[in-house]
Every structure is written in C-alpha cells, then in structure tokens.
Chain A
C-alpha cells in the first residue's frame, strides 16, 4: 500500500438512516419488509443474507438507483452532499476503454478536465496496485485485476459512502482473500462508510465491524451484530479461535436454505 496515499484519511463517512423501508416488484412481490437500521459515519457494515433475499435491492436503494415503496432511506454527510461509489457484482468495465480511461469515467461525467481526471485516477490505480496496467484493455486483465479497476473507479470521486454488491463472489479463493485484505486496508486508510453485500459468512466476518443478517424473501432484519475482532486483519486471523467463533455465531443466525421466514 502506498504510504503517501495512506495518510489521506480525508473522507468523512456518510450516515445511512434506513427507516422501515419496504420494496416490492411486480412478479416477485414484496422483497424488503420494513427494514430499519442506522450506519454511523466510517462504519464497515456487511449485509448478509441468502441468495435472492433482497440484499442487492437494498443496496440499489442506498445508491439512489431505486426508490422505496414505503419508509425512507436517508444518506447524510457532515461535509455536505454525500457522494457514493458503487462496485457491482461484475466489474462492469467498458471494453473499449483502457483501465485508466475506465477509472477516469466518473470524473469525466462530472466535467473534470482530462488531465485532472487522469491524475486523480492514476492515484487510485496506484492504491489498488494497478499503476502499470493503465494502458491495458479489460480483456487483457484477470478477474481480480478487473475488480480492482472497478474499486479504483469507485474511489476516484472520493466517496464518503462505498457500496459493494458481492464484488468478489466470482473470484477464486486466493484472489478473493487478497482483495478482501486490500479492501480492508483501503477502508482503514480512507475512513469512508462501507456497505458490503455478501452471502458468505466468512467474508462478512473477515471484512466487517458490524453484520446485518437478512431473512429469506421478503427480507426482514434477523440480526444486527457487532464483530469483536481486531481492527487490523490478516491471513492468520482466518485460523484464530475468535474468528471461528464469530463465524459460528453468524452462521447460526443465518436462515437455513429452503426455510420459510
């Protein structure tokens, strides 16, 4: 990790206030059922739930890509208007743009000059250790590198809320573990609020300081749990007793597949 970049813990986190939010869709019916929780500035929260439970719908609502039918979801930042970064399940890179130009996209859309955008994006590419790959096209990258590009793109606007939708689900285990540690380091360095959606208990426990468990659809809040693990997490933590106990505790709260909730 670049030490110059580590020092810029400039991004005050946003607050998320989710108050009795419900959302239904034609075809699937009620997906989210009166979900309430609050995320404090700078928290790393994992939203855990079985596949199809409505985790991604909740994340889309938080991103402002969708609106709740009932209840309200408010994002506030002390520094003014909250800015969001989103990392999708797939890397969603534009194949006709190089890694660098994919990373500059949010800044170009915001009207930045090319030179400024390139400078800012290069900084984030260095942070995710892709500085030498700026001229490559997405088809020339591995799955993990694509996802790191996607993370760098989300960081270019210096968001105070970073939303991630199962970003590492399609990756092999060593790559996934590496990226988890990298994401945790980025969060420790920058201090933004993170909402991380996953269906993996081990991933949620390793990454987050707080875990929200959702039930099967229609999703209700089953558990809001504070993770008792040290701030700095490395590969050894995965074999520690504390970690295993946390995993057991969360796994016990997870709805069993096929169980009606």
Chain B
C-alpha cells in the first residue's frame, strides 16, 4: 500500500507542480471572470458616457410604457412633435449630444414598426432591448383595449406553466431552460475532462515505457499496483483542478452574479441567474460521473499506451477510445431534443456513453432509476475493463517495437 502511495504521490506532485497545470487551472477561472467581468466593464463604460435616447411618440400613449421598460438601462427623454426641427436633432446626434432618436407612430401600434435614427447602429443587446420594449408596449396597449389589465401583464411577463410529474421531481429547479443549460455544460465538461485526463494517463504510462524506467519500478511494484497508482495519481490531479474550478464558479456566481445583475438589469433577473448555479446534489452527481467515467477511460488509455512504443503510435491507437468519448458528445444535441425517448434512454445506459449523456438527461429530469442503473452498469464495466486493461498493461509495458495485432492482444489477455 505504501508503494502505491509513493506512486500516487510522485504522479500527483510532478503534475500539479508543472507549469501547464498551474496555467490551465488558473486560466479557467480567469476565463470565467472575464466572461462575467467584461459585460460589467462595458456596461460601466457605457454608463459613464451615457447619452440620452430621444423618443418622439406620435401615438401619444406609448411613451410611458416604452420608457419604463427601457428606463433601467437607458436614459430616455421625451420630445414632442414639432418641438425641435429635424435638422437640429440631426445636428445633436452628429455632435454626440444624444445617442439617437426613436420614432413611434401608428405603425408601431398596429405592427410594431418603429424607426431609430442615430450615428451608428446600437449594440445587439440594445437592439433586442429596444425592440422588446417597443413590441411589448404595443401589445400591452392593444390587450388593455380588449380585456383585463392584470391578465395581459401576466401574459406579457412570460406566463407560468407548472409541471407536475407522477414519477416525482428529481430537482428543485423552476426553470427548465437553466437546468438544461447546466446539463449541457456539465456533459461537455465531463467530455473535456475525461478526454484530457484519459490522455494524461496515456502519456504517463507511455513516458514510463519509452524511458524504460518502468522495468525498474515493476521489479518492486506489481504492474497492477503501478497502473492503479498512476490512474489514482492523475485522477487526483483532475479532481484538484475540477475542485478549484467548481469552487471558482460557485464563488463567482454567488458573489459575482449579483454585481452583473445590478450593473445590467436588462440582461437577467437575479433569480433567473441563480438558476444557473449548480446545486450540491448536481455537483455530487457530476463528480460521481467524472470519477466512474475516469476509471473506465483511464484504464482504456493505459492499455493503449502499454501497446505502443512511441507518441506517434499512441496517437493513432487511441483513436477508437477517443471515438467512444466523441460519439456521445456528437449525439448529445439530438438526444436532448427528446431526452427520455428510446434512443436517449438506451444510449445513455451504455457505460461508455453514460457520463456525457446521462448527466444532461438527469438535469432534464430523467427518471432516477435510470440514473442509478447507469451508475451500476458503469461500475460493472469498470471491473471488466480494468481486468482486461490490466492484463494488456502487464504484458505490454515490457514490449518494445512492433505494435501488437489484435490476436496478439487477445493472447496477452489470456496468458498474462
């Protein structure tokens, strides 16, 4: 056991101390910060040089509604028809005194048409914002004409559909879109990390084999112990990195999001934003899928490395294993259109596909027994794969030269 610990320790420290690990681990959260911070910075800059948007309301009933919808984000100012000559307005726009002029007329009320005149086209977000405010205001006026005001407002706020399931809820999420997005992000992250750390194990095994140090090590350490030690060592590095990332994400979202929401209320309500923060149970399941998927794939990658004698050879040989990871990533989108359909159900129960497919399905509300079954099947697959991979590893790490053929590998597994 002490021997295995020594192997784990060596593998872990050597990697964690490397420049790549430090760069990758720090760059990840920095990227996250950038994603959140850039809009804030941009928003603040805009705020500083905020110039007013003039609204010319020829209908006489739209201005208040549009202004209240835009007010949080833009400085608006009303002008009356004929208050100022068009040429004067143009001059003010040209000089940068105001950002633009929005003209609302009968066409706005009837079909949501409006004209914006400015020095330049507003940013995409502003355009969406203005369009939304204009259309919603027009709809509101027309609905209010017809029926009760409260009902109309509720409809305009997006309505409320309540989902009741006979099988019971597996999450406390209100917003299925946010859950779905978190599921996708989780599936993609699982794909990335399994690939990255699987390849790391392959590299680690290959390094020992090509430098021939492995013969000295297995003169004391049993090959199975060495393989286990390497997998655990690299896996610990992966968990460290994921841990740092997860902590950064949670911290950033918890403390950073309110900032963003406060700075740009037009983008997202705080409550809606908090829907994207993963829950503890979801994080736990994510880690479980990572750990099981990692054992499964790292065993395969270790066996691949044991068969090869050079980096180039390993690059080719790892293709079938990597394809096993890429396939679920490629079918994730189509499957998530109907996550509980037969394809989604059966494919996500295939142990090699489970991490990438079952986690997003869980987030989309898949039955818990299916999630549980996929975990059990993965454990079974790990036992079988580790047994076979261990035998290939045991024979392969001492073989130099020609890559073995499939019948030779079968013989290794039988005779090892």
Chain B associates with chain A: no
- Taking beta carbons and an 8 Å cutoff, which residues of B are in contact with A? none
